[in-house]
Structure 1
C-alpha cells in the first residue's frame, strides 16, 4: 500500500549528508512526503543529523543496548525504513530483524547469514572462491606462519572484521610479520592495478537489477574522493557471482575490486550497505534510494541498469552550521 509520508531513519549518520540529500530528491521525484530521522552518538556533531528533520542520541553500535535504542526510535516515531551506514552495526541490527518487522519497519540489512560472511574478510574470500568469484589467495595468521611462501611476497594484511581502511599493513618478508596481533588478521598477496567500487541493487525478490562500477581515481580515509562511472561486463559478471554465492543478499551493497594487470580483477571485500560513493551512482541514474522508497511504499520498483558511464564525482569539503 502506498502512503503520502515516509519516515526514514539513518543510523550512525555521521557525515552522510550526501545520502540524506539523495533520499530527499528521490521522495520529491515520487511526490511523497519524507521525514528524515537520524541518530548518532553525538548528534549535534553529525552533519547528517543536523540536516535531518529530527535527530537522536544513541550508544555506540557495539553496545549491547544499541539495537533496542534504534527500535525505540522506530516505535515512537513510526519509522518505515531503517538505513544503517557503517559495517559494525550491521550484525547487531540484523539479529533484531524480527523486532523491526513486528513494528512494520523495513530494516535495510541483509539476513544475519549474509552479514556473518561479509563481516569476516577471510570467510568472504572462502565463500566467494567456492562460488567461482575471483578473489586473491588469502590466509590467516597461523596459516601464513606455517607456510610463509603460500601467498608470495609482499603480502597485504588487514583486520578480518575491519572497515574504513583501519589497520592496513604491507609486509615484504616473513621476518617482518609479528608473532601476534591485537585482533584476527587476513593476509593476501599484494595486488596492483586500478581499484573499483561496484554498487549493486538486489530487489526484494532477490533479483540483481543494477550493477554500477566506478573507478576510484583518488581516495581519502577509505572513501572515494574522485571517481568515474564505467561499464565493464566482467565486473557485472562478478556481481552476478556474488549474488549466487550470497543468495539472501538484499537491497544495496557494494564490493571493492583490484584489477591486477597479471591476475585480472579480484574482489577484496563486500559492504552490505550503502557505500560512501553511492551519490556518484545516483547521479549517473542508478537511483537506489528511490527504488528502496518504492519498495517500502508498496509501489512497483523501477530498478533498471540504464545508467550513464563517464560521470565524474569530485568531492570537496563543506559545512553545516548551528547556533
Structure 2
C-alpha cells in the first residue's frame, strides 16, 4: 500500500504516548471553560468552527493561520498565536505547539486543513493523551488523505470511481493512450505539500495536453483520473466508530475544477450516495467529520466517488446555515457528551463565498469560461445567461447566505468587503499610473 504523502522530513523523536485512539473520544467530560485550539488558515473552515464553538460559550484560540486578516478580527477567537507550520522541521514545530497547548490550558485541538491534519497524524503519539484530538485514527487517516488508497477502498467496497492510474512522469502517459481518450485530471495523491500551501488538481482536454503541460512543481507519484461529466455533489457527515450520526448533501452551483466551489445549495440526501458513504465509514471505523465528494450525471443518474476529505470542508457555512452545527456536535462527541443532532436539515439553502463568487460570475459574464484550460486548468462549470442573471439577482436581493457574514461577528465580513473593493481600486490606480 502507498505510504501517506508527504512524509515528515525528520524524525520527531522518542514517542511519549503510544496508545492514543480517537475512536474512544471523551473518556472524561471536559469543562465548558476548557480552551480549544483551532489549527489552520482557511477562513472558510476556521471562521465557522470558531463561531460555532464561541456561541456555546467555549473559549477558542487559533494557531498556524498565516496571519489571515479575516481571522484576526473575529470576536470569537480570543487569542491568535503566531507560530507557523514548518513540516521541514517537525520536532521544533511540535515543541512549539505543545508549549502553546500547555501554557494556554488547551483541552481540545481541532485541525481544519490537510496540512494540519497530516502533521498531527504523524505526531499523534507525542500529543498528551488528555488532549481531545479532532481527527480519526491512524488507519483511517492513512486512507482518506491518500487518493490512491481511497480508490483502493472504493474498489474493495464496489463503489464506482472514474478510471484512474498512478503516474510518475509525462513519458508514462504514452502507455495510457488507449485508456484515456477525453478530458483528464492530474491530481497529487495528497492535497497538501506538508506545509500550509495546498496542491490543486489540474484539468486537461486530453492526454497530449497533459503531457505537454506537465506540472513540474508537483512531485510524483500523481493520480491521473478520467473526467466524469456531471454535477459535483458532496455528502458531509459526522461519524462515531464507523456509525453515521448526521449527514447533509449539497451540490455545487458555481465550481472550479480542483479549487472547490464558490456557490452551493443544500439538497435532499441521495440514498445511493448515502449508502456508499455509510459503507466507507463502517469499513474505516471512522470517527470525526468529513465529506465524500461525488460527481453525479443528472441525465442518467450515474455517479462516481472522487475523494474523501477527512476534515472540515470548505462549504461548512452552508451546513450551519441549513441547520446542522457540525463543529459543536463534533466537540460534544470528543469530550464525551451526546451530540444533540436534529432529525433533518433545510433543503434549498444557498450560500456563497462573496469575493470568489463575484470573480466567478465576472469570468462567466465576459466569456472567460470559453477557454477553460487557459489558466492552469482552472475550469468553471457553465451556466446559461438566464441562470447567471438569476444567481446575480439573488445576491443583489439578499436571498442567499454569505460565508463570512454573521450579525454577531461583523468584522470579518467588513474585512472581506474591503478586499472586494480594493481589487478594482488597485487596477484603476495601475491603469491611470500608466497614462
| Aligned equivalents of 1:166, 1:269: Cα separation in 2 | 13
Matching residue of 1:47: 70
Q: Contact 1:213–1:229 at 8 Å: present in 2 too?
A: yes
Aligned residues: 311
After alignment, is 88-97 or 274-283 more displaced?
88-97
Which of these residues, 213, 217, 241, is aligned with residue 249 of structure 2? 213
How far, CA to CA, are the matches of 1:172 and 1:105 in structure 2?
A: 48
Residues 189-239 of structure 1 show CA distances to partners (whole Å, capped at 9, x for unaligned) of 111111112211112x33111121110111368243211111121221121
**Structure 1 residue 126: deviation in Å?**
1.6
Q: Call closer, same or farther: CA 1:159–1:262 in 2, change over 3 Å.
A: farther
Q: CA deviation at 1:119?
A: 2.1
**1:30 alignment counterpart:** none
1:257 to 2:285 alignment: no
Q: Deviations over 1:21-43 (max 9, x none)?
A: 22223x1xxxxx31110012543
What's the CA shift for 1:108? 0.8
What stretches of structure 1 of length at least 5 have no aligned partner? 28-32
Residues 154, 161 of structure 2: 8 Å contact kept: yes
Q: Does 1:295 find its partner at 2:366?
A: no
Moved more, 149-158 or 250-259: 149-158
Kindly provide the CA deviation profile for residues 70-100 of structure 1, in whole angstroms up to 9, marking residues without a partner as x: 2222122121221111112212201322333
> Kindly tell me: are residues 286 and 188 of structure 1, through their superposed partners in 2, closer, same or farther at Cα, counting changes over 3 Å?
same
In structure 2, the CA distance between the partners of 1:257 and 1:67, relative to structure 1 (3 Å rule), is farther
Describe the shift of the 1:127–1:296 C-alpha distance in structure 2 as closer, same or farther (beyond 3 A): closer
- Equivalence map 1:151-166=2 (5 Å): 151-162=180-191, 166=200
1:79 paired residue number: 106
Matched, 1:56 2:116: no
TM-score for the superposition, normalised by structure 1: 0.86
Could you tell me how far apart the structure 1 residues matched to 2:305 and 2:325 are? 24
* 1:223-279 CA distance string (max 9 Å, x none): 4321111112122112112213322x2111012111135571211111100001112
Cα deviations across residues 30-60 of structure 1 (Å, max 9, x unaligned)? xxx31110012543x4422432101111223
In the alignment, which residue of structure 1 is the partner of 2:135?
109
Give secondary structure in 1 for the equivalent of 2:81: strand
Matching of residue 17 in structure 1 with residue 44 in structure 2: no
Q: CA deviation at 1:111?
A: 1.9
Q: CA RMSD in A?
A: 2.6
2:153 to 127, 140, 144: 127
Secondary structure of the 1:236 match is helix
Of structures 1 and 2, the larger Rg is shown by: 2
Say which structure is richer in strand. 1
Alpha-carbon distance between aligned partners in 2 of 1:114 and 1:298, rounded to the nearest angstrom: 21
CA drift at 1:175: 6.9
Q: Is the 8 A contact 1:62 1:89 kept in 2?
A: no
